[in-house]
């Protein structure tokens, strides 16, 4: 309500993010007062009946949540899982120069790691082309059963902390309602003036700088305006005021009276009158109109603003392959050219995000179109390949949480993005991706929500090529987490070569309302063969050398959800198509680059599923040569060929001698690789056989 | 080396934690100089041959990692995944009053969320009963390809930030080697004196307080002492010095010469002499002896110090159940008494950890033995059920990362712990648990590492009882992440009732070297029947009412890994035993409280696996009544009974009419629950049938 006054006074473009747990009541009631709620849910009308429904269905089964769920107009941030309000808020204001995102941060939420580092987002915000975030750190002092850390350190320490994070804190503290309103009004206005001053200074001069952005520390009692004590226990100003402060009103008339008195202290009779409707005069005086209402701002229903990306033709970036398997090239480096041109064509609509790995992931070509955003200090060496700029298009901070939160906010407010990360460390944001999946799934059930662009995650530096990083860098399990989400919102792609990667990314960047996960190796390799495909085809070659009468079919799976039955995922094959590819009665050896059990879980219903034998990463690793790592997990060409022999009963006699030979060849290859300390040539050595296998 | 001087001078008990990525070289070389490395790896002897092996196998396939892996003596913290050095360090010093854990924090690592909030750990450290952490924030200025945030803010801001976090920063900055050594020596000595002063003050007075603990900000160039430029590119003091600063020495003799000159600037000839061994005099002057060496301190091989917990007899806490299904009680509240007495019996050896949920998880009884540790300010209302104390045994901060890091450090240094958390939000630390699994698995291969106590994780507030929290609080997928880890280190238990929970926890707390995950509902329920068991038995009851000639077997699975074949997990059943329980040819309906696919993944090899039909959470949720949520996911008694009918072909005709009746009953029950707004009585209404089913 305080900010509404300023929206009206200065015609501000603003949205509100509610960070604290169970933070929906303020945003819900404001939406109702502003009229938005009744507009989108006509049965919650502006009269006693509608109000009754509005109240009754709050936190009621099948009703409205106490977190700011997708059903809540004006929300882009549910707040069910704590920690992401600030990073989401910054995501909304990048490339939105007029937007101010007012963000309430709970002091419980402020203890989380993701929130604690997100304060540093100011080092990536350009006052010329970006808007501003105005955080209100709300110290109500308590979590569920505990005091909060930031409410129990000295005023001086808290001030230093926020100054150290680069913000200018303004304190609004107390419990006397009238004076607190005066203080809040004056403080917020001062903050808005400071924001506008810094923006104007940068925009007038054309010189971006990092000001000490204003923020508010609001200290009020938890359960403010409620009784300080209830039945000899502290209530207001203590954790007992959490969620449902007075719990026995159904059975205790005294406590019911206290609750009623408390509620009546807000003077509903005066405010809503006999018709149970806020008077038009009061609304005019206190609420903005139309899209200026924070509950109706299209930024918070980002699909309304989403424009498709301008896309070059991905076929123009094709890697020329005269003969399959004869060209060694980097899929990722090639894709970088496509990505660079997407950045060029969409200068205010698309950003690339990642935790300090864009270069390492071989995407450096993108810097030709957009450097890395940097609003910290610049040193002389930066001109030597630093690729930093206040006007960059690539966002890199060594916090997967912050990068993901920024991108989610950016996409939720109607733009596009791509996150690139190392495969093992994407687990750091398992939970954030989970929550985003749940958000977009629930949005499908909310009529007035317009679809937003997909969240695109590109995973590289896969488990098999962690020669020098070792066991900690070997974890392909993110796919298992993603595969648990609703089939309506998740997609997994495993493009085998550079050209398929182009086509896959083209598809993903044009799609909406999905979480697309693309796994692709960053290393140079044979086109078209990734390591696992190379091993598979090489295994077939080995088998045919020794057993030329075998019949072998090689199937490459790009779209992971083709494996699942059509009734369980829209991409799934029908059983007929499955059988035509895999048969119902022949042994199938599946060479997979992640944990093998995922394949079983996706195929357990298939005809002949008991014939499927999956090789993959079985948590056996170290700093190994790629060959040694493959052998440890039995995904190398020799193990695969031996697997095949073991699974074809009529081969037994002939097979035994071939098996022996393969075992020896495997040992020789392993020794050689070990002697060399690595085996970079191991893969490119092998050539696609002349005969058509 | 600087701290070695102080260890010798003051006879300090200290270990070193290396936080930065690829942070092993310092800790490895120090271990070699101190003699420890050759003691545990005799082939890396103290002579030119041994030194050659020591160098050659660094970051070499099959050799020693560049992160501080379990193979590194003196390490409890690998540092492969960044962000946990400070929380690990605090874990080691809780209840270790004499220990100082010197902790190097990388400025890349410092950008992560987990690290950013871990600085607040001082609010939970008691100078009387705990030791101290001495952080050295190392600003070398660069990550892989980027500057770091903390190295590019002003000196003043950085100072304010650390002051705000509650630390007293001392700055050691420069690139002139001699003066930097003098500054570092003086600063570290000052820090140690301050630490000892605060500890003595608190211990002499018996009054714990939170001092402004000292820490060091060390600013040196990345690649310090290396060439500033190489071939017209900046090297030292820039990101090009990352990992392998000079890469072309095999082919470029000029660069090889530069590398040699750089290495020779350390004067190896003088230090190691003709015998290739550090002179005894120099070692005596610079290194502590025996266990005082940080590389040999038993704290960093915590199994050496681990003592079994003193355990009361869990049978003394048995819930009396005269008749199965006739008593409604809280498993968790009952377990709390057992846990309370464990805390009593192990006052310096065991802690309970969790993010503000111990009370909400119905474990409050533990506060009788140990309150919540709190070193922040105290207010008057705290005496009214605040349960805070500087000498508490329960650690609560709203950061799963910090709690988990503390517990890992505590367990790794030879003590015991139990983490309790909400099921959905344990995903926040997927990645940390992954990394701990990898650590303990790798330790099994390191001869001199002694087993440590297990990491015990108790998950409550399961998906099925999130009536008012809704969709964001519904995610049982942590089990899928855990199930990907090596069978040698992970265990999953699903105790169905209070007595089984006691027995399970007794078992887990006595075990070593595992990650034990226990899932148990915190709500009161029928003993012995959790919600899914109740639904299952009720479904059987419904079926027998309508179809009394059916034969149904009910099997309860407590140990999840019994499902997998014995060859794949030590707990796995042999196929014979499997068949004797489940048969090879009868339909099996599995009612599971997590994502159903996990069961398929574990059972795909079993005889009759195609007969297994799993119901579980299928990502269908909202703020629902428990019954409505069960119906949405088809895990309610009615759906299960209908499932059974659908799967028994000879029932078809009779079955159809029963199915119809069940469908109607389901609708009636759902309507009733919805009208009431909840269905707390829904489960307890149903009574164990008199006939023996």
Question: Residue A623 and residue B379: Cβ atoms within 8 Å?
Answer: no
For B357, which of A144, A379, A623 is closest by C-beta distance? A144
- Contact list in A for residue B376 (CB cut-off 8 A) is 147, 149, 152-153
- Which of B260, B280, B304 corresponds to the end of one domain? B304
pLDDT of residue A689: 52
pLDDT mean over B55-81: 92
Q: ∠ CA(A61), CA(A63), CA(A65), 5° rounding? A: 95
Give the CATH number for residue A438: 3.40.50.970
pLDDT of residue B465: 66
Indicate if the pLDDT at residue B84 is higher than 90.
yes
pLDDT mean over A135-163: 96
Question: Residue A471 and residue B147: Cβ atoms within 8 Å?
Answer: no
**Above pLDDT 90, what percent of chain B?**
71
Q: Look at A89 and A56; give whichever has higher pLDDT.
A: A89
pLDDT of residue A679: 53
Looking at the fold, whether B234 and B330 belong to one and the same domain comes out as no
Residue A693 lies in a domain: no
Q: CB–CB of B376/B122 below 8 Å?
A: no
ipTM of the complex: 0.92
List, for residues B180-195, the tens digit of each pLDDT value. 999 999 999 999 999 9
pLDDT mean over A647-657: 84
pLDDT of residue B472: 80
Indicate if the pLDDT at residue A423 is higher than 50.
yes
List, for residues A49-66, the tens digit of each pLDDT value. 999 999 998 988 878 889
The mean-pLDDT minimum among A182-191, A379-388, B611-620 falls in B611-620
pLDDT mean over B262-283: 90
Distance from the A267 Cα atom to the nearest Cα atom in chain B, whole angstroms: 28
Alpha helix (H) residue ranges in B84-124? 85-93, 113-118
List, for residues A334-348, the tens digit of each pLDDT value. 999 999 999 999 999
Residue B692 lies in a domain: no
The mean-pLDDT minimum among A92-96, A525-529, B16-20, B232-236 falls in A525-529
Looking at the fold, whether A467 and A593 belong to one and the same domain comes out as no
Taking CA–CA distances from B359, the nearest residue in chain A reads: A145
pTM reported for the whole predicted model: 0.93
Report the C-alpha gap between A557 and A493 in whole angstroms: 9
Looking at the fold, whether B145 and B106 belong to one and the same domain comes out as yes
Indicate if the pLDDT at residue B323 is higher than 70.
no
pLDDT of residue B685: 47
pLDDT of residue B691: 47
pLDDT of residue B680: 44
- Contact list in B for residue A442 (CB cut-off 8 A) is 471, 622
Tokens representing A466 are: 């962690």
Report the C-alpha gap between A209 and A214 in whole angstroms: 15
For chain B, the average pLDDT equals 91
* Selection from A84, A158, A140 nearest residue A412 by Cα: A84
Indicate if the pLDDT at residue B219 is higher than 80.
yes
Q: Kindly provide the residue ranges of all beta strands, DSSP E only, lying in B416-539, ordered along the sequence.
A: 416-422, 455-460, 490-493, 515-519, 524-527
Taking CA–CA distances from B632, the nearest residue in chain A reads: A62
Burial of residue B657 (CB within 10 Å: 0-12, 13-18, 19+) is exposed
B678 — pLDDT class (breaks 50, 70, 90): low
- Contact list in A for residue B152 (CB cut-off 8 A) is 123, 374, 376-377
pLDDT of residue B161: 98
Burial of residue A607 (CB within 10 Å: 0-12, 13-18, 19+) is middle
pLDDT of residue A684: 42
Looking at the fold, whether A570 and A511 belong to one and the same domain comes out as no
Structural domain span for residue A237: 1-304
Question: Residue A399 and residue B113: Cβ atoms within 8 Å?
Answer: yes
Looking at the fold, whether A1 and A110 belong to one and the same domain comes out as yes
| Chain mean position to CA B278 | 39
pLDDT mean over B282-289: 92
Which one-letter DSSP state was computed for residue B574?
A: P
For B38-63, give the DSSP string.
HHHSTTS-SSHHHHHHHHHTBTSTTS
List, for residues A264-278, the tens digit of each pLDDT value. 999 999 999 888 898
For chain A, the average pLDDT equals 91
Q: CB–CB of B351/B94 below 8 Å?
A: yes
Residue B491 lies in a domain: yes
Tokens representing B669 are: 């029950």
For A164, which of B157, B239, B386 is closest by C-beta distance? B157
Looking at the fold, whether B263 and B406 belong to one and the same domain comes out as no
H/E element, B540:
helix B531-546
Looking at the fold, whether B432 and B508 belong to one and the same domain comes out as yes
Tokens representing B273 are: 């002499």
Distance from the B39 Cα atom to the nearest Cα atom in chain A, whole angstroms: 23
* Selection from A521, A541, A546 nearest residue A532 by Cα: A521
pLDDT of residue B524: 67
Residue A42 lies in a domain: yes
Best A471, A485, A515 residue to mutate vs chain B (most B CBs within 10 Å): A471
Looking at the fold, whether A197 and A284 belong to one and the same domain comes out as yes
Question: Residue A472 and residue B67: Cβ atoms within 8 Å?
Answer: yes
- Contact list in B for residue A120 (CB cut-off 8 A) is 111, 116, 149
Residue B472 lies in a domain: yes
Indicate if the pLDDT at residue A379 is higher than 90.
yes
Residue B221 lies in a domain: yes
Question: Residue A145 and residue B360: Cβ atoms within 8 Å?
Answer: yes
Looking at the fold, whether B151 and B266 belong to one and the same domain comes out as yes
Q: What is the count of structural domains for chain A?
A: 3
Distance from the A604 Cα atom to the nearest Cα atom in chain B, whole angstroms: 7
B325 — pLDDT class (breaks 50, 70, 90): low
Report the C-alpha gap between A431 and B449 in whole angstroms: 33
Taking CA–CA distances from B158, the nearest residue in chain A reads: A164
Cβ pairs A/B, distance under 8 A? 351
Looking at the fold, whether B123 and B269 belong to one and the same domain comes out as yes
Q: CB–CB of A422/A462 below 8 Å?
A: no
Q: CB–CB of A420/A458 below 8 Å?
A: yes
Q: CB–CB of A440/A381 below 8 Å?
A: no
Indicate if the pLDDT at residue B352 is higher than 80.
yes
Q: ∠ CA(B490), CA(B301), CA(B429), 5° rounding? A: 40
Report the C-alpha gap between A110 and A84 in whole angstroms: 10
Distance from the B402 Cα atom to the nearest Cα atom in chain A, whole angstroms: 8
- Per-residue burial over B208-219, b if 16 or more Cβ lie within 10 Å, else e, is bebbbbbbbbbb
pLDDT mean over A630-635: 88
B199 — pLDDT class (breaks 50, 70, 90): very high
Q: CB–CB of A388/A396 below 8 Å?
A: no
* Selection from A460, A418, A458 nearest residue A330 by Cα: A460
Residue A309 lies in a domain: no
Best A25, A164, A231 residue to mutate vs chain B (most B CBs within 10 Å): A164
**Above pLDDT 70, what percent of chain B?**
94
Which residues is A73 bridged to in the sheet? none
pLDDT of residue A677: 62
Report the C-alpha gap between B163 and B155 in whole angstroms: 12
Q: Look at B690 and B665; give whichever has higher pLDDT.
A: B665
Which residues contact residue A558 at a Cβ distance below 8 angstroms, ignoring those fewer than 6 apart?
A493, A494, A495, A496, A500, A504
pLDDT mean over B133-162: 97
pLDDT mean over B484-502: 89
A593 — pLDDT class (breaks 50, 70, 90): confident
pLDDT of residue B428: 96
- Which of B251, B270, B304 corresponds to the end of one domain? B304
Distance from the B279 Cα atom to the nearest Cα atom in chain A, whole angstroms: 32
Indicate if the pLDDT at residue B692 is higher than 50.
no
Indicate if the pLDDT at residue B677 is higher than 70.
no
For B600, which of A442, A477, A604 is closest by C-beta distance? A604
Distance from the A168 Cα atom to the nearest Cα atom in chain B, whole angstroms: 11
pLDDT of residue A541: 85
The Cβ of residue A478 has, within 10 Å, a number of other Cβ atoms equal to 27
pLDDT of residue A462: 74
- Per-residue burial over B484-513, b if 16 or more Cβ lie within 10 Å, else e, is bbbbebbbbbbbbbbbbbbbbbbbbbeeeb
Question: Residue A397 and residue B161: Cβ atoms within 8 Å?
Answer: no
Give the CATH number for residue A608: 3.40.50.920
pLDDT of residue A691: 46
pLDDT mean over A545-563: 90
Question: Residue A152 and residue B123: Cβ atoms within 8 Å?
Answer: yes
Taking CA–CA distances from A244, the nearest residue in chain B reads: B468
Looking at the fold, whether B461 and B515 belong to one and the same domain comes out as yes
Looking at the fold, whether A280 and A216 belong to one and the same domain comes out as yes
List, for residues B598-647, the tens digit of each pLDDT value. 999 899 889 988 899 999 888 887 777 778 888 888 988 899 999 999 98
Residue B163 lies in a domain: yes
pLDDT mean over A350-368: 93
Question: Residue B65 and residue A165: Cβ atoms within 8 Å?
Answer: no
- Which of B527, B556, B584 corresponds to the end of one domain? B527
Tokens representing B668 are: 């009636």
């Amino acid at each position: 309500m305080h900010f509404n006054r300023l929206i009206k006074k200065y015609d501000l473009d603003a949205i509100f993010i509610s960070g604290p747990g169970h933070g929906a009541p303020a945003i819900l009631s404001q939406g109702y007062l502003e009229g938005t709620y009744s507009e989108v849910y006509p049965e919650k009308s502006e009269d006693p009946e509608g109000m009754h429904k509005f109240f009754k269905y709050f936190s009621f089964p099948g009703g409205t949540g106490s977190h700011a769920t997708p059903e809540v107009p004006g929300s882009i941030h549910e707040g069910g899982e704590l920690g992401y309000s600030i990073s989401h808020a910054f995501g909304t204001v990048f490339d939105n120069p007029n937007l101010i995102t007012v963000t309430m941060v709970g002091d419980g939420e402020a203890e989380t790691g993701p929130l604690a580092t997100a304060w540093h987002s100011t080092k990536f915000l350009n006052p010329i082309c970006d808007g501003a975030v105005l955080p209100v750190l709300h110290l109500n002092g308590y979590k569920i059963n505990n005091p909060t850390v930031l409410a129990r350190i000295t005023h001086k320490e808290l001030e230093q902390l926020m100054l150290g994070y680069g913000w200018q804190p303004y304190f609004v503290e107390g419990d006397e309602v009238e004076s607190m309103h005066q203080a809040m009004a004056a403080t917020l206005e001062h903050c808005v003036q400071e924001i506008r001053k810094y923006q104007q200074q940068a925009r007038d001069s054309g010189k971006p700088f990092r000001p000490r952005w204003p923020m508010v520390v609001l200290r009020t009692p938890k359960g403010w305006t409620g009784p300080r004590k209830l039945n000899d226990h502290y209530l207001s100003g203590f954790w007992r005021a959490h969620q449902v402060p007075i719990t026995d009103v159904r059975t205790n008339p005294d406590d019911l009276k206290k609750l009623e008195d408390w509620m009546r202290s807000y003077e509903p009779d005066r405010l809503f009158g006999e018709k149970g409707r806020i008077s038009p005069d009061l609304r005019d005086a206190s609420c903005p109109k139309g899209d200026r209402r924070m509950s109706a701002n299209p930024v918070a229903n980002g699909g309304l603003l989403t424009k498709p990306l301008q896309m070059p033709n991905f076929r123009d970036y094709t890697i020329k392959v005269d003969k399959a398997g004869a060209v060694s090239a980097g899929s990722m480096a090639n894709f970088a050219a496509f990505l660079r041109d997407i950045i060029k064509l969409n200068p205010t609509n698309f950003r690339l995000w990642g935790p300090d790995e864009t270069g390492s992931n071989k995407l450096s070509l993108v810097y030709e179109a957009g450097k890395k955003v940097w609003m910290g200090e610049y040193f002389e060496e930066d001109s030597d390949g630093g690729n930093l700029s206040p006007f960059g298009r690539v966002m890199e901070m060594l916090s997967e949480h912050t990068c993901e939160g920024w991108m989610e906010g950016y996409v939720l407010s109607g733009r596009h993005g791509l996150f690139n990360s190392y495969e093992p460390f994407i687990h750091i944001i398992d939970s954030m991706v989970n929550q985003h999946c749940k958000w977009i799934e629930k949005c499908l059930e909310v009529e007035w929500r317009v679809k937003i662009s997909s969240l695109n995650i590109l995973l590289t530096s896969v488990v098999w090529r962690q020669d020098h990083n070792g066991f900690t860098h070997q974890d392909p399990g993110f796919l298992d987490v993603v595969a648990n989400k609703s089939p309506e919102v998740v997609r997994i792609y495993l493009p085998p070569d550079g050209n398929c990667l182009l086509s896959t990314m083209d598809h993903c960047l044009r799609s909406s309302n999905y979480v697309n996960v693309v796994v692709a190796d960053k290393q140079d390799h044979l086109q078209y063969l990734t390591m696992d495909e190379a091993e598979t085809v090489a295994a077939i070659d080995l088998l045919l050398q020794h057993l030329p009468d075998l019949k072998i079919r090689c199937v490459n799976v790009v779209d992971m959800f083709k494996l699942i039955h059509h009734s369980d995922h829209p991409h799934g094959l029908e059983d007929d198509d499955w059988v035509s590819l895999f048969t119902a009665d022949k042994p199938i050896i599946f060479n997979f680059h992640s944990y093998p059990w995922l394949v079983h879980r996706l195929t357990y219903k298939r005809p002949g599923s008991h014939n499927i034998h999956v090789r993959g990463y079985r948590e056996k690793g170290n700093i190994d040569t790629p060959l040694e790592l493959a052998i440890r997990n039995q995904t190398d060409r020799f193990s695969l060929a031996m697997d095949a022999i073991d699974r074809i009963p009529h081969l037994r006699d002939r097979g035994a001698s071939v098996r022996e030979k393969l075992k020896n060849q495997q040992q020789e290859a392993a020794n050689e690789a070990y002697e060399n300390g690595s085996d970079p040539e191991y893969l490119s050595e092998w050539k696609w056989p002349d005969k058509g296998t």
